[in-house]
Amino acid sequence: MNQHMLSNTIKLSRFLCALSLFSMLVSGAVHAGSSEDEYKEKLQSLQRNINQLKNELEDVKSSRNQLERELQTSEVNIGKLTSSINRLKEELASGKKQLLQLNRHRTELQIQRREQQKAIAEYINSAYRLGQQSQIKLLLNQQNPDELARTLKYHEYFIEARTDKIDAFLSTIAELDTIEPKIAAETQSIKDKQGSLQKRHSQLLVKQKDRQLVLKNLSATIKSKDDQLKQKTRDRERLERLLEEVTQAIANLTIPGGGQPFEKRRGKMAWPVKGPLLNSFGSAKKVGELRWEGIRIKASLGNDVQSIHHGRVVFSDYLRGHGLLMIVDHGKGYMSLYAHNQALLKDLGDWVNAGEIIAKVGNTGGQSQTGLYFEIRHQGKPTDPTKWCARR
């Protein structure tokens, strides 16, 4: 093989390698896009199936059922109000921070203006001391050509410096003129939000009183431990039906995005909320032969609930017996469940990171005590959260 043929062979080989690499990159990009699209499509299908499932689960005609509907309506409304209050508080905090920055900048500009006024006054005084001599007068009075040139140059620099100082001063005045309306507008915005926040707090108190009345009437319908067992059994069946639907919908789907796999974080994850654990996994409940498939964590009303790991929200809604419920898919069949929340801060399809606030601690689902009910599931089956979350 001659040198020319060898050169062409090398070039062809390099071209084929580059083409192969390009194909792999394009294929990977298309696959990633397809994976994301497929995930979204599955979530939309899941939402439709969940809506249908909820109608089936709640289509029972009884006086208790009517009270449960009233409780659900009351707790959902409280959740929406709480979410609205939370957003307003965040907006208020941001607005106050912005106002503080504007006021600081105004103070800096005012100091700058005073310094510029002083400098201009000094320049005017210097001009007066020079006798405000014209360049012609300077020319006639000077005998030495070198000294004359220096004097004229100094006079020129003086004029330019004075002009720059005046321009800077005018610029400061103009900026102050624009910042004052911004401060006034931000102050009014904060005042309006504070009024709106106070109004929503009043509405929340009324809703909470309504809830207490419904809850009292609902509790009166439970005549015996047998009634209580039936209720708890129905609540668990609802959750199992829901989780079965969710598990089937996201089976064999890989969560798009990076991050450490869930199974690699075993024993290292933070608990979703701070507080004492009220039961052990698998222990018997007070009623019947039911056992705990998760952990109850005692916490104050309104405390932050955080996601234990990176994932995507696959359920964010009300489920009877569990109140405002959120389920996060972490990939490879792992899910975390957060129940009895006061408010849900993420929607179906939202991405969440480990430690991100996703809800507020509550007592929805007819609970008398505030706190979080927390589960971890793998392939739909409950697993002990204490094996996954770090020791306290």
Domain positions in the chain: 42-221, 256-387
pLDDT band at 154; cut points 50, 70, 90: low
**pLDDT score for 269:** 95
**Per-residue pLDDT tens over the stretch 206-227:** 777 777 777 777 677 666 556 6
Burial class (CB in 10 A: 0-12, 13-18, 19+), 223: exposed
DSSP assigned state of 275 = S
More confident residue, 89 or 148: 89
pLDDT at 21: 44
pLDDT tier for residue 34 given thresholds of 50, 70 and 90: low
105-119, 245-259, 298-312: segment of lowest average pLDDT: 245-259
What b-and-e string marks burial along 20-30, b requiring 16 or more CB atoms within 10 Å of the CB? Answer: eeeeeeeeeee
Using CA atoms, how far apart are residues 190 and 212, in angstroms rounded to an integer? 33
Alpha carbon distances (Å) from 315 to 91, 280, 372: 26, 25, 16
Cα–Cα dist 86/286, whole Å: 36
Question: Could you tell me which of 4, 190, 227, 187 has the C-alpha nearest to residue 89?
Answer: 190
Element holding 342 (H helix, E strand): strand 334-344
pLDDT at 177: 79
pLDDT band of residue 228 (cuts 50, 70, 90) is: low
Radius of gyration of the chain (CA): 35
pTM: 0.62
Q: In the predicted model, is pLDDT for residue 24 greater than 50? A: no
CA distances 197 to 150, 218, 303, Å, are 69, 31, 18
What's the CATH number of domain 256-387, 3.50.50.60, 2.40.50.840, 2.70.70.10, 1.10.3720.10?
2.70.70.10
pLDDT in tens, 246-304: 777 776 666 666 678 999 999 999 999 999 999 989 888 776 567 889 999 999 999 99
CATH number 3.30.1910 given to 42-221: no
User: Which 8-state DSSP code applies to residue 288?
Assistant: T
